[in-house]
Amino acid sequence: MDADTYQVKNQYFFDQYALGQLDINEYLEFCLEPLSQNSIETLNKWHQEFMQSKIIPIILPKAQAVVDQHREKGDTLLVITATNRFVTAPIVHKYGIENLLATEPEVKNGRYTGKVKDEPCFQKGKINHLNRWLAKTDESMVGSVFYSDSHNDLPMLELVDHPVVVNGDATLQKIASEKGWASLDWT
C-alpha cells in the first residue's frame, strides 16, 4: 500500500474512532498487516528510530510528573490501551511503567502474522483484559484511577474509583462535566 492510500485509510479509521464507531477488528487488520511484512529485528530497529524522532520529543512533562507521583505513593502502575503491544511497550517503558495490557499482535515462527492473538483491548475488551490481569495478581481496584482522553474508554472510566479525563474529546468532556469527573489539560 502506498503512503497516500495508507494516510487516507488511517484517517478514515481515526474518524470512525472519534465518532465511537470504529470496527476494531477491521482497524487491527489494517494496522497489524505491515508488521507481517518485516522481520521483528527490522521492526524493532525502526521502532527505536521512531521513539527517538517522534515519541521522546512529545512526551508530556505533566504526564511524566503524574506517573512519578503515583509511583512515589506506591501505586501500582498499569497502562491499558487498545494500541498494539509492539507500538506501546517501548513508550510505556520510557515512562518507567512495568505493567501493560494492550492488544497483542500474533507471532508465529518468530514473525508477526498481521493478526490479533487475543481479544482486542478496546472498550469493554479493556475490562476483560483487566479482569484477567487482576485474577493473576494480588492487585485490586480499590482506590483505582484511570486517565483517558477518549469516550471510547467510558467502560473503564465508569469502573474505577477515580476517573480522570485528560485532554478529552468533546464527547468525553461533556460526560465528565455531567458526572463531575476530574478533567485535566496536559498540553
Residue 106 sits in a domain whose CATH number is 3.40.50.1000
Within-domain flag for 163: no
Q: Which of 156, 35, 47 is nearest to 91 (CA)?
A: 47
Calpha distance 43→45 (Å, rounded): 5
Its pTM stands at 0.91
Q: What is the pLDDT of residue 2?
A: 83
Q: Where are the alpha helices (DSSP H) in 20-123?
A: 24-32, 40-50, 61-72, 85-94
How many structural domains does the chain have? Answer: 1
Residues 46, 47, 48, 53, CA torsion sign = positive
Q: What is the pLDDT of residue 55?
A: 93
Within-domain flag for 148: no
Residues 129-152: what's their mean pLDDT? Answer: 96
Within-domain flag for 24: yes
What are the DSSP E strand ranges found in the chain?
Answer: 78-84, 99-103, 105-108, 111-116, 145-148, 162-166, 182-184
Within-domain flag for 182: no
Report residue 73 as a C-alpha cell. 505513593
Residues 112-136: what's their mean pLDDT? Answer: 96
Within-domain flag for 127: yes
Calpha distance 172→149 (Å, rounded): 7
Within-domain flag for 160: no
Within-domain flag for 170: no
Domain that holds residue 102: 3-139
Within-domain flag for 174: no
pLDDT digits (tens, 9 = 90+) for 13-42: 999 999 999 999 999 999 999 999 999 999
Calpha distance 134→140 (Å, rounded): 7
Q: What is the pLDDT of residue 3?
A: 86
